[in-house]
Structure 1
Amino acid sequence: MSVLLFGITVGLAQPGSLVAYEYLGSMEAGEIETALNIAFGPDAPTSIYSISMYSVAYEIQKSDGTADTLSGAVAFPHDPTRAFPIASYQHGTTILDNAVPSITGLSPENFEIIFIAIVASSNGFITVFPDYMGLGISDGYHPYIIADPYTLAVTNLIRAIKHLPSEIDPGESFQWNNQLYLLGYSEGGYATLAAQKGIEESVLDELPITASFPMAGPYDLSGTMVDYFLSIPDYPQPFYVANVLFTHLDYYGSLDDLDQYFLPAWADTLPILFDGTHSGWEINDLMPDNPLDILLPETLEEFTADSSHFFRVTLAENTLLDWVPVTPTYLIHGMGDDIVPYANSEVAYIDFILGGALDVTLVNISESEGGHAEVALPCILYAYETMLLYQAVSPKGDIDGDGNLSENDFDLLVQSILNGAALGAFETWAGDWDYDGSHSIFDLTAISLAID
C-alpha cells in the first residue's frame, strides 16, 4: 500500500519512519541578517549560516496501536563540514490545519515559526517543528493539552529527520551531532515538558536531552488551572477552555456524549468549530465571557465540587507533576501572565525540587513585560540565549561531540579502526575526514594533523 504526500509516493512504514518530504524554501545568511536588523535594530540576533526548510511527513503508532501519519518541518544550516544540535520547537496554540509549520514554512504570516527558524538555524541548530497530532495532515481532532500525543509527535519527528539527509541534495544535507534541545511557549511549553517527561521515562537512552526550556505552559492542570477557571468571571481566551474540554472528551470518552456535558447548542456546534477550519478568534466571538458557561449547569456544579468528575480526572491525568526531571530544565514564565498563570511554573518547580531534581531553574520574567502574548518574545529569547551556552557545533574529527578536536577524538578513531568499535551515525560521519564512507589511516592522519 502507498500514499501520495507532498508530491512523492512512498510505502507506509514503521513509527519514526520518514514518509515524505517537500522543499519549502531557503534564506541566505545576509538576507536573514537584514531581516533581523529591520525587526530588532541594534539588538538583533546574529546570523552565521544560510538555511533551508523542508516539510516532512512521518509515521507514529498511537496508544491504541493504530498508525497515523503526522507532519512537521525542519530548518537547518548550510555547512556539510559540520554537525549541529537538534532543537525541537513546539509551537503555541493553533486550531487551523493550515497554520502549522509544515504549511507556513518561512512565510512571515507565522511569525513564531519563521523567527525560531531563522534565528536558531542560522546560528547552528537543526530546528524541527512538529505540527502535532490532529493538525496538518493528521486525521481527527487535535488532542489539545493531552500529554502522550506530544511525546509521540516530538520523538518520532526527530527519528524521521535523521533519515532526511540521505534523501535530499547532498549540497543541502546536514548532520546531527546528538545534542538535543526542547523548547516551546504556551501550548508549546506544555508540549515541551510533556515530551521531556515521556522521553525521560521511556527513550532517554535513544534521545538524551541536553537541556529543556518549557515556557508558560499549563503544567498544573488539576490545581492552578482549575482554580483559575473557577475563580474568574471571564477568561481572555475562552476557546482554549472549550478546546480542552472538547478534545478531552474526544480522547478519553466519546463525542456521542457531548449532550451529557454541554448545553444543547454547544453540543451541536463544538465539532464544527474545532474541525480545523475555524480560527480561535472566530470561536471567541461566539463564546460566553466565562467559558465554563457552555457546560450544563449540573455538569458545572459537579465539576466544581467533585474531584472524581470526568473532566477533573482527565485534567489530573495530564497534570505534569509527580516526576523528577533529570535533564537540565529551565521553567520560564512571565509573572504577569493573564492566560496561563505563573503559578503553573512555580508549582512545577517546587514539586520537582522537593522530588529530588538537581538541575531545574525557575526563570521569572517581570510583570512589567506584560501578559501572556507580550512576554512570549522575552521568554523565547532567554531560552535561546541560554541554549547557546550549551551548544556544541562539531567539525569533522570531533567524534566525542564536544565541539573541539582533541586526543580523545584521535583515540576513539583508533579504536574504531583497530577494534571495529561500533559507532553511531554521528561518530561515523565525524571520523570520516575524507568522505569516502569508511574510517582509515588517512582519516587518522588528517585528524592528527588538525589536532596539532
Structure 2
Amino acid sequence: MGKIFSILILLTQFGHLHAEAGDLIDFNHQTTMTVEDINIILWFAGFDPVADYSISAYDIHYESHSVSGTVDTLSGLVIIPHSSTEAFPILTYQHGTVILDSQAPSITGISADNLEIFLISLITAPSGFITVIPDYTGIGDPDKYHPYIIANSHTQALVNMIRGVKQLSIELEGNDEFQFNDQLFLAGYSDGGYATLASQKGIQIDYSDELSVTASFPMAGPYDLSGTMVDYFFSEPEYTQPYYVPYVLTSHLWYYQGLDVDFAEYFEPFWADTLPSLFDGTHSGSEINELMPENPLDILLDDVLEEFENDEGHFFRQSLEENTLLDWVPESPTYFYHGMGDDIVPYQNAQIAYDTFVANGAPDVWLTLYPEELGGHSDVALTCILAGYTVILEYQRISPKGDMNSDGIITSEDVNLLEGSILTENNITEFQWWAGDLDWDATHSIFDLLGASDLTEE
C-alpha cells in the first residue's frame, strides 16, 4: 500500500495537480527495533531499560507553507510504537540549533550521528509515544535556507508535519500500523525550546479548531529576543557560540526582505560577501566560529550597529520584536526548564516569559531553574529533557480499542458514545472511529457495542 501511495503522489505531481499544506508526499522506512534491542542500547548508554514497545522509524516529506505563502516540501522523522490495539499520544520534539544539512533528523535517523535525536527517539517512542521530529524549513535541503528563530516558520513546519503523520497512519500496514489519540505534547531544547513555545502559540491562536496542546515543555530557548537576547549581545562581546549571531541576522534579512537583499547595506564588505556561502548547509558552526571576530556584532557596519543598539525602529529590532514570544497567554499547561549557568541563552528568557505569563493570567505555567554549578547551555540539556519527560509521562494516556473518550479505560461512557455513533451517526473523530471498530470491519455495529460492553471496567 505504501509503495502504491508514493506512486500515486508522484503521478499527481506530474499531473500538475495542486498539493496542499499538510499533504503527505512520500515516506521511507529507515529501521525497526525490538524491545530487546532498545533496552540493550539504553543499558549501555547508562539509562534504565524502559522500552515497552518495539518501534519503526520513517522519514517523510510533506507539504507546508513557504515564506511567500506558497506550498513547499519539508521533511522530518517519525518514530512509531508497535501496537494494533492501542492508540498513542503524539509527542513532537523540536531539535536544537542545526546548521549542517547532513544533521537533519530525517537524514541521520536513529543513529549515533545525532545523539540528541538518538536519545529522544529511544526514550519516547518505546514508552508509547508517536514521536514526531520536524527537520524545520531548509534543514536537510540544499536548495533552501533555514529561517532561524522565526516563529511562524516553526509553527508551519510542525502543524503540517502532524497532518502528514496522521495521513501516514492511514497508509501503513502490518506491524507498522498505528493510531493516535487526542493527546499532543510539544517539547524542545535551545532553538527547539523556542520552536516549542512558538508552535504552542501558533496552534493556540491559528489552529485551535484542529489541534489542542495537552502540555508544552519549552527548554532553554531565546523567547525574549528583543529584550534579554539583544541586551546580552550588546553586553557580552565574547559570545560562546558567535556564529549564532549572523545565523539570526541573515535569516531575518532573507525571511523579511527576500533572498535578493543587499547584505552590503548591513555588513562589513568581507562579511557581506562571505555570509551567504557560510550558511548554505555545508559549513559547521565551529568552522564559522573560527572566522568570526571576537565580538560577533563587529560584522555589522558601524552605522548599522549604532542604529541597532539605539533605534527601536531599526529593522533588526523590529524583526526580533516580531518574533519575541511574550505577547500572548498560554492556555495549555506550560513547563519551562533552564539552567542558570547558561552561557548561550540566558536563563532570564525563561524567567521573563514565566513572569509575564503569570502576570497576564496564564492558568498553568511552571518554571524550573537549575543551579549554575550544573554547567552551561549544553551541560544542563539532558537534565532538563529528562525532567520534562518525567512530567510528560504523568500526563500520558494510551488508549485501548473501545476507549471512545480517550481516558485510558473502557467504561459505560464509552459504550454510550459508541451507541450514539451507531444510532444517530453523530460526528466522531478519526480516533473515535478507530476505537469503536472493535471487530475491525470498518464500521460501527451492534457487534462492536457488545464487544465494548464486555470490556467495561465498571
Normalised by the shorter chain, which TM-score bucket?
Answer: over 0.9
Counterpart among 243, 248, 251 of residue 255 in structure 2: 251
Instruction: Name stretches of at least 5 consecutive residues in structure 1 with no aligned partner.
Output: none
Counterpart among 113, 116, 136 of residue 117 in structure 2: 113
Aligned match of 2:341? 336
Q: Tell me if the contact between 1:10 and 1:20 (Cα under 8 Å) persists in the aligned partners.
A: no
Counterpart among 152, 155, 162 of residue 159 in structure 2: 155
Aligned match of 1:66? 70
Aligned match of 2:30? 24
Aligned residue identity for 2:382: L
Aligned residue identity for 1:141: Y
Aligned match of 1:305? 310
Tell me, what secondary structure is at the counterpart of 1:278? coil
Tell me, what secondary structure is at the counterpart of 1:333? strand
Shift of 1:140: 2.0
Aligned match of 2:45? 39
Shift of 1:205: 2.2
Q: Following the alignment from structure 1 to structure 2, what is the Cα–Cα distance between the partners of residues 121 and 287?
A: 40
Aligned match of 2:453? 448
Aligned residue identity for 1:190: Y
Q: Following the alignment from structure 1 to structure 2, what is the Cα–Cα distance between the partners of residues 59 and 282?
A: 32
Q: Is the counterpart of residue 143 in structure 1 residue 144 in structure 2?
A: no
TM-score, normalization by structure 1? 0.96
RMSD: 1.5
Q: Is the counterpart of residue 413 in structure 1 residue 418 in structure 2?
A: yes
Q: Following the alignment from structure 1 to structure 2, what is the Cα–Cα distance between the partners of residues 351 and 138?
A: 39
Aligned residue identity for 2:131: T
Counterpart among 83, 97, 102 of residue 87 in structure 2: 83
Q: Are residues 138 and 416 of structure 1, via their aligned partners in 2, closer, same or farther at CA, if it must alter by over 3 Å?
A: farther
Shift of 1:271: 0.5
Aligned match of 2:16? none
- Structure-to-structure mapping, 1:338-417, within 5 angstroms: 338-417=343-422
Tell me, what secondary structure is at the counterpart of 1:423? coil
Q: Is the counterpart of residue 281 in structure 1 residue 290 in structure 2?
A: no
Tell me, what secondary structure is at the counterpart of 1:98? helix
Q: Following the alignment from structure 1 to structure 2, what is the Cα–Cα distance between the partners of residues 257 and 104?
A: 34
Aligned match of 2:10? 9
Tell me, what secondary structure is at the counterpart of 1:293? helix
Aligned residue identity for 2:387: Y
Q: Tell me if the contact between 1:45 and 1:119 (Cα under 8 Å) persists in the aligned partners.
A: no
Shift of 1:98: 1.5
Q: Tell me if the contact between 2:193 and 2:218 (Cα under 8 Å) persists in the aligned partners.
A: yes
Q: Is the counterpart of residue 218 in structure 1 residue 222 in structure 2?
A: yes
Shift of 1:170: 2.7
Aligned residue identity for 2:177: S
Instruction: Give deviations 1:393-436, integer Å, cap 9, x for gaps.
Output: 00100110111111111110010111111111100000011111
Q: Tell me if the contact between 1:25 and 1:52 (Cα under 8 Å) persists in the aligned partners.
A: yes
Q: Following the alignment from structure 1 to structure 2, what is the Cα–Cα distance between the partners of residues 107 and 6?
A: 25
Q: Is the counterpart of residue 192 in structure 1 residue 196 in structure 2?
A: yes
Shift of 1:64: 2.8
Shift of 1:367: 1.8
| Runs (4+) off by over 6 Å | 5-8
Instruction: Give deviations 1:22-48, integer Å, cap 9, x for gaps.
Output: 0111111111111111111xx525111
Q: Tell me if the contact between 1:10 and 1:19 (Cα under 8 Å) persists in the aligned partners.
A: no
Q: Following the alignment from structure 2 to structure 1, what is the Cα–Cα distance between the partners of residues 11 and 170?
A: 15
**Structure 1 residues 170-179 or 125-134, which shifts more?**
170-179
**Structure 1 residues 297-306 or 43-52, which shifts more?**
43-52
Instruction: Name stretches of at least 5 consecutive residues in structure 2 with no aligned partner.
Output: 14-18
Aligned match of 1:239? 243
Shift of 1:138: 7.4
Aligned match of 2:97? 93
Q: Following the alignment from structure 1 to structure 2, what is the Cα–Cα distance between the partners of residues 105 and 267?
A: 35
**Structure 1 residues 183-192 or 106-115, which shifts more?**
106-115
Shift of 1:63: 5.2
**Structure 1 residues 249-258 or 83-92, which shifts more?**
249-258
Shift of 1:166: 2.3
Aligned match of 1:430? 435
Instruction: Give deviations 1:129-148, integer Å, cap 9, x for gaps.
Output: 10001112374210000110
**How many matched pairs?**
446
Instruction: Give deviations 1:254-298, integer Å, cap 9, x for gaps.
Output: 443200110000000000000011111111111112110111111
